[in-house]
Structure 1
Amino acid sequence: MSDTPPDRLSSDPNSRFHDAAALERGIGVRFNGEEKTNVEEYCVSEGWVRLPFGKSLDRRGNPMTVKVKGTVEPWFKDAAPEPPTP
């Protein structure tokens, strides 16, 4: 795995942009210069994040989200795992 986080990542396991290995390492997201800890999904190339909207839930029990545009800067919180030695 590289040291660059994916361009688009979702915390929802049903999303096609969900990457369990990347989420296991821990992802930090800075949005418009401010660190956010409640990001549900982000896209660097399109410049947006999805944030929960209050405590509201949709009919499937997932948090309601709002898409906000701006500058997105993700990073890995943990170092890359060492490859196994033979």
Structure 2
Amino acid sequence: MNDTTSKPALPDRLAIDPRSPFHVRAVFEHEIGIRYNDKERFDVAEYCISEGWIKVQSAKTVDRRGQPVLIQLKGRVEVFYK
């Protein structure tokens, strides 16, 4: 059922912010899942598999430009297509 041949390879590092150099538009055309320390997370803004971290928004805090403040959590990161 899941045809992964037409889907692009998941990058080692990916960000949801389109201004980031790690944003890959083709990946976001498909639904992806991120598992952090064996628990699926839905609030991840950026991840890096090789370095083992994710970035999530810190409550409702924003910086002076109105962008959310991100905190980095270290652990085991797994990414997959749903």
Residue 32, structure 1, aligned to residue 37, structure 2? yes
Aligned counterparts of 1:18 and 1:60: Cα–Cα separation in 2? 20
Aligned-partner SS, 2:26? helix
After the TM superposition, list the runs of 4 or more consecutive aligned residues in structure 1 that deviate by more than 6 angstroms: none
User: Quick check: which has more Rg, 1 or 2?
Assistant: 1
What does residue 71 of structure 1 align with? 76
Residue in structure 2 matched with residue 50 of structure 1 by the alignment: 55
Native 8 Å contact 1:4 1:76 kept in 2: no
Cα distance between partner residues in 2 of 1:24 and 1:62: 23
Cα distance, 1:23 vs structure 2:
1.3
1:2 and 1:46 map into 2 onto residues whose CA distance is: 24
Structure 1's unaligned 5+ residue stretches are 78-86
Contact 2:36 2:77 in 1 (8 A): yes
Q: Which runs of 5+ in 2 are unaligned?
A: 1-5
Provide the C-alpha distance between the structure 2 equivalents of 1:58 and 1:25, rounded to a whole number of angstroms: 30
What is the TM-score normalised by the length of structure 2? Answer: 0.86
Whether the aligned pair in 1 keeps the contact of 2:54 and 2:73 (CA below 8 Å) is: yes
Instruction: Report deviation, 1:4.
Output: 3.9
Q: Measure, in 2, the Cα distance between the counterparts of 1:31 and 1:44.
A: 10
Determine which structure has the larger strand proportion and give its number: 2
Q: Indicate the SS of the match to 1:73.
A: strand
